[in-house]
Structure 1
Amino acid sequence: MSNLSSTRQSLGLVGWCLLLLVIAILGAVASINAGAFYQSLEQPAWAPPATWFGPVWSTIYTLMAIAAWLVWRPSGFGGAPIALAVFIGQLVPNVLWSWFFFVWHLGALSFANILILWGLIVVTLIGFWRANRIAGLLLVPYLLWVTLAVALNYSVWQLNPAMLG
């Protein structure tokens, strides 16, 4: 049961969706030339094709917005303030990773950043799970994708020291 009116709940969903849209756009701006750069890098045999990244991230951002809304919905930010604060905080390394890797070509910094992001996703997922199990489950694809991205980031960085030094 929610303490917030249905109008406020609807506006909250729109707000979370807009926040994640802004995050997606900031990452996309850094990734404008990502396709060409990504294809120029030596990659491990298990690397997903570049065409997967857009659809996967679009899906993940949608799931993230819904998850945050489900946690926020019962009482606003007062219901699960730490979980929501960590969720909002993890958006910073989420966006920064694209800039470190695709724009500035900083392999070590992008790897350190994605490790921090992974840890913050775990903390967020646990907090969301405690507040709303469905919200926690909605973050599982995010954690799995970033787990793959951690391994891929490390492998690509190691395979391309001259380009990601």
Structure 2
Amino acid sequence: MKFKPLAFIINIAITLGIGALGGWATAQSVKTWYPTLNKPSFNPPNWLFAPVWTTIYILIGISAYLIWIKRDQIIHFPRTCAIYFIQLVLNLAWSFIFFYLHEIGFALAEIILLLIVVIINAVTFYRIDKWAGLLFIPYIIWVSFASFLTYNIFILN
């Protein structure tokens, strides 16, 4: 397949845009509410979250691009897109639920759903393009860690 630079940029821009919206939802609380919470000893420093999430958003944007360029060969392309966009919406929703609404318990339930949908997305993409699915591995690992972290913050608060 021939590289499509505009499609590549758009797919990455979509995920980075989701990240930017999530960043907006978290910005104030990271300075005010979040420091007041009891956190487990393995809680990463705040500066680590932005580079990790930026890298993950770029990887899943690349993954989406790999699927998009094969869209004519995918029988269930609308379903594949729906799964992808559902996980993006759930990803964004977690930031609003946890940092904007300060609903830790609801955020815990939501992130477990997010993890399930991310895994479904990864498997769906893998069946179409192995690299597209494999690029989701860091995302799965990070959301698994974030789920465990959210659980511990919930228990401690």
Could you tell me the TM-score, scaled by structure 2's length? 0.91
- Give the conservation status (yes or no) of the 8 Å contact 1:71–1:84: no
Taking a change above 3 Å as real, the CA distance of residues 91 and 118 of structure 1, as seen in their structure-2 partners, is same
- Amino acid aligned to 1:67: S
Structure 1: which 5+ residue stretches go unaligned?
A: 161-165
Matched residues in 2 for 1:111 and 1:96: separation? 12
1:33 alignment partner, SS class: helix
**Could you say which residue in structure 1 is the equivalent of 2:100?**
103
Structure 2: which 5+ residue stretches go unaligned?
A: none
Superposed, which structure 2 residues align to 1:1-165 within 5 Å?
Answer: 1=1, 9-36=4-31, 37-75=33-71, 78=74, 81=77, 82-160=79-157
Matched residues in 2 for 1:139 and 1:33: separation? 29
Percentage identity across paired residues of the two chains: 34
Q: Deviations over 1:109-146 (max 9, x none)?
A: 11111011000000000011111111111110000000
**Could you say which residue in structure 2 is the equivalent of 1:163?**
none
Q: Deviations over 1:68-120 (max 9, x none)?
A: 10111123594652333201111111001011111110011111110110000
| Root mean square deviation, CA, Å | 1.7
Matched residues in 1 for 2:118 and 2:124: separation? 10
Deviation >6 Å, runs of 4+: none
Deviation, structure 1 residue 32:
0.9
Could you tell me the TM-score, scaled by structure 1's length? 0.87
Mean Cα deviation higher: 68-77 or 57-66? 68-77
- Give the conservation status (yes or no) of the 8 Å contact 2:74–2:128: no
Deviation, structure 1 residue 46:
1.4
Query: How many residue pairs were aligned?
Result: 155
- Amino acid aligned to 1:20: T
- Give the conservation status (yes or no) of the 8 Å contact 1:107–1:157: yes
1:47 alignment partner, SS class: coil
